Amino acid sequence: MKYTDLDGKDANALSELLKEKKLLLFKLKGKLRTMQLNNPNEIKEVKKDIARIQTAITVASTSEA
């Protein structure tokens, strides 16, 4: 996921996407602890996606004010 994919979305859609990614991160961490995760780099990618979404939310909230 790139930042340009998130640029046109509104704050509600971004918040929903953020919830989904945080839930996915929780599930991946659980799989890592039980040694069921095949690709540990997925955790890194999801964390970066979360940071991108949070950045987009911040930009959207500052542009509204």
Tell me: the pLDDT tens digits for 9-59? 888 999 999 999 999 999 999 999 999 999 999 999 999 999 999 999 999
Surface-to-core class of residue 7, CB atoms within 10 Å of its CB (0-12 exposed, 13-18 middle, 19+ buried): exposed
- Show Cβ contacts of residue 18 under 8 Å, excluding neighbours closer than 6 positions: 50, 53, 54, 57
What's the pLDDT at 65?
A: 65
Is the entire prediction scored with pTM above 0.85? Answer: yes
pLDDT over threshold 90, residue 64: no
Q: How far is CA 12 from CA 36, 41, 60, in A?
A: 33, 28, 10
Which residue range forms the structural domain that includes residue 49? 3-64
Task: Quote the number of domains for the chain.
Answer: 1
Task: Let me know if 14 is exposed, middle or buried by CB neighbors in 10 A (0-12, 13-18, 19+).
Answer: buried
Type of residue numbered 43: I
> CATH number, domain at 40?
1.10.287
